[in-house]
C-alpha cells in the first residue's frame, strides 16, 4: 500500500480575517507534523525514494517560510495589539501567556534547527532515516503550543481586539509575506 507523503493544501483564510488565518496556519502546521511522522515510517519501509525527498523538501519549505512568518505574526503584531488593548489595566495573565508563547517559539526554532539538517539530507537523497525522537519532540511541542494558542490566545484575541486592530494585523501579515499591497478588507479596497 502506497502512503501519500505530500500534504494536501487547504483553502486559506484571508488577510482580512487574521485570527482565522492564524488558526488555519495551525491546521497546516499539524498537517506538516503528520507528514513528518509518516516520513519516519516511510523511510524505514522504503528508504529515501522520490516521495520521501519531496516530502522532506515540502516540510522544510513550509517551516522555513510560513512557520517563521506565523511566529512573527504573533510576536510582532498580535501579542502587542493584545497587550495594548489592555492598556490601563494590569494584563498579568495576558503578559504571562504571550511571554510563555514567545518562549515556546524560541524553543520550537531551536528544535527545528536541529531537525532541519536531517530533512535536508533526506531531500537531497543523502540519508535514509530521520531521528524519530527528534521528530516526536518537534511534533509534540507543536501540539502543546497550538493547543494553548487555540484554547487561550485566539479566543482572548477575538474578545479583546476590534475591527481596526484586526485590519492592521492583517495588513502587517500581508506585508510580511510580500503579498500585493492591495487587498480587500470587508469588501473595500485598501492600499
Express each pLDDT in 136-161 by its tens digit: 999 999 999 999 999 999 999 999 99
Instruction: Please tell me the predicted confidence (pLDDT) of residue 119.
Output: 98
Is residue 78 pLDDT above 60, yes or no? yes
Is residue 2 pLDDT above 90, yes or no? no
**pTM here?**
0.83
Cα–Cα–Cα angle for 158, 163, 164, rounded to 5 degrees: 130
What is the DSSP code string of 25-90?
HHHHHHHHHHHHHHHHHHHHHH-S-HHHHHHHHHHHHHHHTHHHHHHHIIIIIIHHHHHHHTTTS-
Question: What sign has the CA pseudo-torsion 29, 30, 31, 33?
Answer: positive
Cell of 52: 520521501
Within 10 Å of residue 168's Cβ, how many Cβ atoms? 15
Instruction: Please tell me the predicted confidence (pLDDT) of residue 128.
Output: 84
Instruction: Please tell me the predicted confidence (pLDDT) of residue 11.
Output: 53
Q: What is the mean pLDDT of the chain?
A: 88
Which residue ranges make up each domain of the chain? 18-177
CATH classification of 18-177, choosing from 1.20.1530.20, 1.10.4100.10, 1.20.120.520, 1.10.3720.10?
A: 1.20.120.520
3-48 pLDDT, tens digit each: 455 444 445 578 999 999 999 999 999 999 999 999 999 999 999 9
Residue of 163, 139, 173 whose CA lies nearest to 71: 173
Q: Which residue has the cell 505574526?
A: 73
Cα 105 from chain centroid (whole Å): 10
Q: What are phi and psi of 9, to 5 degrees?
A: -100, 145
Instruction: Please tell me the predicted confidence (pLDDT) of residue 3.
Output: 46
Amino acid at each position: 500500500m502506497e502512503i501519500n507523503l505530500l500534504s494536501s493544501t487547504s483553502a486559506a483564510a484571508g488577510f482580512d480575517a487574521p485570527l482565522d488565518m492564524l488558526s488555519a496556519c495551525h491546521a497546516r502546521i499539524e498537517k506538516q507534523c503528520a507528514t513528518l511522522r509518516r516520513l519516519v515510517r516511510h523511510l524505514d519501509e522504503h528508504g529515501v525514494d522520490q516521495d520521501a525527498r519531496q516530502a522532506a523538501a515540502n516540510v522544510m519549505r513550509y517551516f522555513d517560510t510560513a512557520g517563521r512568518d506565523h511566529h512573527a505574526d504573533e510576536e510582532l503584531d498580535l501579542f502587542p495589539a493584545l497587550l495594548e488593548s489592555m492598556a490601563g489595566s494590569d494584563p498579568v495573565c495576558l503578559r504571562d501567556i504571550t511571554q510563555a508563547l514567545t518562549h515556546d517559539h524560541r524553543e520550537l526554532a531551536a528544535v527545528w534547527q536541529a531537525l532541519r539538517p536531517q530533512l535536508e539530507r533526506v531531500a537531497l537523497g543523502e540519508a535514509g532515516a530521520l531521528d524519530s525522537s527528534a521528530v516526536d519532540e518537534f511534533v509534540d511541542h507543536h501540539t502543546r503550543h497550538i493547543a494553548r494558542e487555540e484554547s487561550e490566545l485566539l479566543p482572548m484575541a477575538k474578545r479583546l481586539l476590534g475591527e481596526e486592530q484586526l485590519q492592521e494585523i492583517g495588513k502587517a501579515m500581508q506585508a510580511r509575506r510580500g503579498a500585493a499591497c492591495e487587498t480587500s478588507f470587508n469588501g473595500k479596497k485598501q492600499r
